[in-house]
Structure 1
Amino acid sequence: MSPFTTTIILLSLATGTIITATSYHWLMAWIGLELNTLAIIPIISKQHHPRATEAATKYFLTQAAASALILFSSTINAWYSGTWDIMQMTNNTSNILLTMALAMKLGLAPTHFWLPEVLQGTSMMTALIISTWQKLAPMALIIIMSNNLSYTVLMTTGIMSAMVGGWGGLNQTQTRKIMAYSSIAHLGWMAAITPMMTNLLILNLIIYLFMTTSMFLMLLLSKSKTLQDVSTLWALSPTLMIMTMLTLLSLGGLPPLTGFIPKWLILQELTTQNMLTVAVTMALSALLSLFFYLRLTYMMTLTTPPNTAMLKHKWRFNYLNNTKPLSISLTLSILLLPIVPMILL
C-alpha cells in the first residue's frame, strides 16, 4: 500500500471517529461510523491472505449490520418524536435497538463473536487499531446517550461480556485472541457502570487504552504471536519481559498497578448502589481473566523453554524500533495508582 493511500485511509479513520463524537444529528453520527468502518477494511485486508480477507469480510458484515440497526432505531425515534437529535431519544424500542447496535459495534457479548476472529486474521498493528481507536466512536455515542440507553440491556451485556471475556480466554494459545477476550471483558466492565457514572466509564476507557496499547506494542516489538513466542521473550530482552509481565498483571487488575483503579472504583460504586449480586459476579469474572494473565506471566518469567544454544541473549538485536510510544503508554499503564486521591476529589 502506497504512503499516499495509507495517509488517506488513516485520515478517513480519524475523521469518521471525530464526526461521530461531535455530531448531534443521527445521520451525521451514522455517516461517521460508516466512514470509520470503510476506512479500516483496506487496512485489515492489505496482507493479501485468505485469513485477512475472511477477517475483513466478517468485520464489514458485522459493522454494516450494527450501523443499519442504528439507522433503523434512529428512524423509529424520528417517526415518533419528529426529531433526529441524538439527545432526544424518547422511544423505548429505539433505545433498546440502539443499545444492542452499539454493543455489536464494540464487541460486547452476546454479539462478541466477530472480535477474536477478526483480530486473529489481521496483523498486530491492525489488531491494536481495532482494539483501541475503533472503540472510541461507539463509546462516544454511549457517553452522550448514557441517560437514554436501555438499563437492562447494558447491565446484561456488561455481566455477560465480563464472564465471556474470562471464560473465552482460558483456552487460547494465540496472543491476539487472548487480547480480544481481554478487550471483551474490559468493555463489559465499562458497560456495567455506564448507567450510574459516566465519569468512571471515561476513566476506565482511558486506562484500558493505555494498557492495551502498551501490551500490543510489546507483542509487536517482540513479534510474539503465540504463547510459545512469549516464552522466549527473556532471551530477546529481560527488561521487556519484566515490563510485559507488569502490564499483564495491570490488565488483570492487581493492586499496586494502574489496572486496579477502574475495578476498585466500579466495584465500590456497584456496592454503593446496593447491586451486590452484580458486583460479586463481576469480581468473580475478573478472577477468570486474571487466571489467563497469570498463565501468560508464568510462561514468560518462570519457565525456561527448550533451547539449543546455551546463550543468555539472542546474538543480534534490532535497534531500529521506535520505543517512545511504548515507554509512554507503559509508564501510564503501570504507575498511575497514586492519582486515585485526585480522581476521588
Structure 2
Amino acid sequence: MTKNFSSIIFLLTLISGSLITISSNSWMGAWMGLEMNLLSFIPLISNSNNILSNESSLKYFLIQVLASSILLFSVVMNSIFNGMNIFLYNDYIFILILNSSLLIKMGAAPFHFWFPGVMEGLSWFNNFILMTWQKIAPMILLSYCINFNFITYIVMICVIIGSIGGINQTSLRKLMAYSSINHIGWMLSSMFISNLYWMIYFLSYTLLSLSIIYMFNYFNIFFMNQCYNTLNFSPVIKFLMFFNFLSLGGLPPFLGFFPKWILIQNLINNNMFMLTIMVMMTLITLFYYIRITYSAFMLNYTEIKWINYNYMPNYKMLTLNFISLFGLSIIFFIYNLF
C-alpha cells in the first residue's frame, strides 16, 4: 500500500514537472520543471529487487543531469553575453548548445546512446512513460528556440539510426527504443510545419505504443522468441500483436500511416531531400517488421500439447487494437460524413 501510494505521488509530481516546464515564461522556470520531472521519475524506475533497474536509473540520472547542466550553461552564458552587448554569432552558438541539451534529454540521435540501454532495464510501464511523456517537455522547449538547419540534420540522423539500429534486435525493449528514435525524427520534422501536426503525430504514436506495450506487459513478453513460442495458443492475439507492429511502422491501411501521410503532404514542397531520406528509412523499418511478422505466421513453432484452449483478448486489448488497426478508416468515415 505504501509503495502504491508513493508511486502515485511521484507520478503526479512527474506530470506536474512537465506542466510547469511547458507553462513557464522563463528558462529558469523551465529548468526547474525539468528537474522536478527528473527527480520524480528516478524513484519510479529504481527497484531494489532488480539490479538492471538500478543500473538504468543511475544511467538516466547521470545523462539527464548532464543535459540539464548544458541547458543551464547555455541560458546563463547567453544572458551574460547579451548583457555585455557581444553579438558575434553568440546567439546562434548558444541556441545550438541549447537544442543539443534538449535532444540529449529526449534521447534523439546522435545523442541516443543511453536510450536503448536504459530501456532494457525498465518495466513496460516505465518504458511507456520514457517513450511518450518524458519527450513532451523537451520537444515543446525545442519548438520555442528551434534552429531549422541544425534540426534538419538531426531528423535525418534520427530516422537513419532508428531504422538501421533495430534490424538485428531480438530484445523487444531495444526494438521499441530504436523505433522511438525513428519516430522522434518524424516528430521533429512536424515542427517544421506547426505544433498542431506535432500533436497529431505524438498522440497517434502514444496510442500505438500503448496498444503494443499493453500486450507485452499483459503476457510478460520481453524477447522476440517469446512472441513466437508463448502466443501459439491464440492466433487472434498473435494477429493483433504483429499487425500492431506494422501499424507502428506506418503501413497504409492502419492508423500509423495517417500522421506520416499528413507530414509527407506538407513537407513535400519544403524539404524534399529530408523527406526522401525519411521515407526510405521508414521502408527499412517496415522491412524488419514484415520480416518478423512473416516468421511468426509462416513458420511452424512448437506448441505445448496441454495448452489446448483458444484464449480471447479482453475488452481493453480489443479496444486499443481496434483503434490502432482501423483508426484510419474511422477518420476517413468521419471526414466524409461531415
Q: TM-score, normalised by structure 1?
A: 0.87
In the alignment, structure 2 segments of 5+ residues that lack a partner are 84-89
What is the alpha-carbon distance in structure 2 between the residues aligned to residue 19 and residue 199 of structure 1? 20
Q: Are the aligned partners of 1:258 and 1:335 in contact in 2 as well (CA < 8 Å)?
A: yes
Partner residue in 2 for 1:28: 29
Partner residue in 2 for 1:13: 14
Greater Cα shift, 302-311 or 17-26: 302-311
What is the alpha-carbon distance in structure 1 between the residues aligned to residue 111 and residue 297 of structure 2? 35
Partner residue in 1 for 2:131: 131
TM superposition shift of 1:120: 0.5
Greater Cα shift, 234-243 or 52-61: 234-243
Q: Are the aligned partners of 1:223 and 1:229 in contact in 2 as well (CA < 8 Å)?
A: no
CA offsets 1:231-274 (integer angstroms, 9 cap, x no match): 1353343322222122111111111111111222222222111x
What is the alpha-carbon distance in structure 2 between the residues aligned to residue 327 and residue 17 of structure 1? 31
Q: Are the aligned partners of 1:44 and 1:122 in contact in 2 as well (CA < 8 Å)?
A: yes
What is the alpha-carbon distance in structure 2 between the residues aligned to residue 331 and residue 77 of structure 1? 49
Within the alignment, does 1:286 sit opposite 2:287 as a pair?
no
What is the alpha-carbon distance in structure 1 between the residues aligned to residue 63 and residue 319 of structure 2? 33
What is the alpha-carbon distance in structure 2 between the residues aligned to residue 111 and residue 178 of structure 1? 17
Percent identical residues:
33
The secondary structure found in structure 2 opposite 1:272 is: coil
1:80-91 alignment runs, 5 A limit: 80-81=81-82, 91=91
Within the alignment, does 1:330 sit opposite 2:327 as a pair?
no
What is the alpha-carbon distance in structure 1 between the residues aligned to residue 319 and residue 99 of structure 2? 34
Match of 2:300 among 301, 304, 307: 304
Partner residue in 1 for 2:100: 100
Partner residue in 2 for 1:117: 117
Within the alignment, does 1:169 sit opposite 2:166 as a pair?
yes
1:218-237 alignment runs, 5 A limit: 218-237=215-234
* Residue-pair matches, total: 328
User: RMSD of the alignment, in Å?
Assistant: 2.4
What is the alpha-carbon distance in structure 2 between the residues aligned to residue 37 and residue 132 of structure 1? 14
In the alignment, structure 1 segments of 5+ residues that lack a partner are 83-89
Partner residue in 2 for 1:154: 151
Q: 1:92 to 1:322 in 2, by over 3 A?
A: farther
What is the alpha-carbon distance in structure 2 between the residues aligned to residue 200 and residue 207 of structure 1? 11
Partner residue in 2 for 1:86: none
TM superposition shift of 1:310: 6.6
Q: 1:79 to 1:209 in 2, by over 3 A?
A: same
The secondary structure found in structure 2 opposite 1:69 is: helix
What is the alpha-carbon distance in structure 1 between the residues aligned to residue 175 and residue 100 of structure 2? 24
The secondary structure found in structure 2 opposite 1:190 is: helix
Partner residue in 1 for 2:87: none
TM superposition shift of 1:342: 4.8
Give the counterpart letter for 1:20 in structure 2.
Answer: T
The secondary structure found in structure 1 opposite 2:221 is: coil
What is the alpha-carbon distance in structure 2 between the residues aligned to residue 248 and residue 109 of structure 1? 22
CA offsets 1:76-135 (integer angstroms, 9 cap, x no match): 2322446xxxxxxx9222211111111111111100111111111111221111111111
TM superposition shift of 1:334: 2.5
TM superposition shift of 1:61: 0.9
Q: 1:12 to 1:75 in 2, by over 3 A?
A: same
Within the alignment, does 1:68 sit opposite 2:69 as a pair?
yes
The secondary structure found in structure 2 opposite 1:173 is: coil
Q: Are the aligned partners of 1:233 and 1:241 in contact in 2 as well (CA < 8 Å)?
A: no
Match of 2:238 among 238, 241, 244: 241
Q: 1:134 to 1:175 in 2, by over 3 A?
A: same
TM superposition shift of 1:29: 0.8
Q: Are the aligned partners of 2:232 and 2:303 in contact in 1 as well (CA < 8 Å)?
A: no
Q: Are the aligned partners of 1:227 and 1:299 in contact in 2 as well (CA < 8 Å)?
A: no
The secondary structure found in structure 2 opposite 1:224 is: coil
Partner residue in 2 for 1:85: none
Within the alignment, does 1:262 sit opposite 2:253 as a pair?
no
Q: 1:303 to 1:8 in 2, by over 3 A?
A: same
